[in-house]
Amino acid sequence: MEMAARRLKDNALTIYSILSLVVIAIPLLHIIATTLINGAQSLTPEFFTSLPKPPGEEGGGVANAIQGTAILVALTMLISVPAALLTAIYLSEFPESRLRDLIRLLNDTFMGTPSIVAGVFAYTLLVTKFGFSALAGAFALSVLAVPMMVKTMEEALKLVPTDIREAGLSLGIRHWRVVTSIVLRTAMPAIASGVLLTVARISGETAPLLFTAFGNPNFATGILEPVSALPLMIYVYAISPYPDWHRKAWGASLVLMIAVLTINLITKYKLRRR
């Protein structure tokens, strides 16, 4: 009797878990399917290579937004990877430092900051003085990217066993050398996957770009000019009254989704520890 009751409970829990999974999976699959169905038709060669046509006119592409996103992501990484890496090294490799708790608190606070605040911050700091630009956009995105990366990089460094550090030190190697040549090297796959996942996260951010990168119907010729970006373009096109723009927004969503999926797959299969 006791056994039967337990088995019943066990089965009930299993069924409950499966149901929960289905409830979560259905909307996800629905989003992917809808994006595929609505977006696939837009993905012509012209879509990737041409600039947008004036409002109401059919055709054209989103090449400017693709260029913009590439510029923004590259600039953001250029700014935030070194900053985050040095911070993470400081947090993980200098345990005697007093500032550690304060930096962690600030970092966690930043991580919970709404992304629009990052945009406003960049706006007041840079845009009011120098105007809309890719650089201001990248700065806003960096405000989001740095805390995420500090967290993952610190975790990655902490996964390196103490033994490995001590082995390095016991060979008479200087502390900073042990960190750069042994600890970082050991943690590199995990650090790289943290960077890639951050790229995936920020490449879809819209709010911080609204009043920093601003958008640009043409190609940008420098980082001090406004640039378009895929999420910005999706935002503008999706709320427009033109059916052709709606289709393009779906197409751009699909492109972003495929890019993020690709990054996740690379992280999962190429960078995991053997």
Partner 1 sequence: MAGHATDKIVVRNLNAWYGDFQALKNINLSIKKNTITAILGPSGCGKSTFIRCLNRLHELRSDAKIEGEILLDGKSVFNMDPVEVRRKIGMVFQRPNPFPTMSIYDNVAIGLKLNGVRDKKALDRVVEDSLKKAALWDEVKDKLNMPGTSLSGGQQQRLCIARAIATNPEVILFDEPTSALDPISAVKIEDLLVDLKGNYTVVIVTHNIQQAGRVSDYVAFFWMGELVEFGKTAEVFENPKEELTEAYLTGRIG
Contact residues toward partner 1 (CB under 8 A) are 95-96, 161, 163-164, 166-174, 177, 181-182, 185-186, 188
**Residue 169: CB minimum distance to partner 1, A:** 6
Name the minimum Å distance from CB 184 to partner 1.
10
Which C-beta is closer to partner 1: that of 185 or that of 272?
185
Nearer to partner 1, 186 or 198 (CB): 186
CA dist list (Å): 129 to 123, 136, 206: 9, 11, 22
Nearer to partner 1, 103 or 236 (CB): 103
By beta-carbon proximity to partner 1, the closer residue of 122 and 183 is 183
- Pick the closer one to partner 1 by CB: 185 or 268: 185
Dist CA 80 CA 144 (whole Å): 9
What does the alpha-carbon distance between residue 175 and residue 125 come to, in Å, rounded to a whole number?
37
State the nearest-atom distance from the C-beta of 187 to partner 1, in Å. Answer: 9
Can you tell me the distance from the alpha carbon of 16 to that of 263, in angstroms, rounded to the nearest whole number? 32
At closest approach, how far in Å is the CB of 152 from partner 1? 19
In the complex with partner 1, which residue's Cβ is closer, 34 or 180?
Answer: 180
Cβ-count burial of 138 within 10 angstroms (0-12 exposed, 13-18 middle, 19+ buried)?
buried
Cβ 222 vs Cβ 206: under 8 Å: no
Burial (CB count <10 Å: 0-12, 13-18, 19+), residue 87: buried
Half-sphere exposure of 190 toward its Cβ, with a 13 Å CA cutoff? 18
For residue 94, the minimal CB distance to partner 1 (Å) is 10
The secondary element (H helix, E strand) that includes residue 198 is helix 184-202
Q: What is the residue whose two structure tokens read 């005697």? A: 96
Q: How far is the CB of 93 from partner 1 (least distance, A)?
A: 11
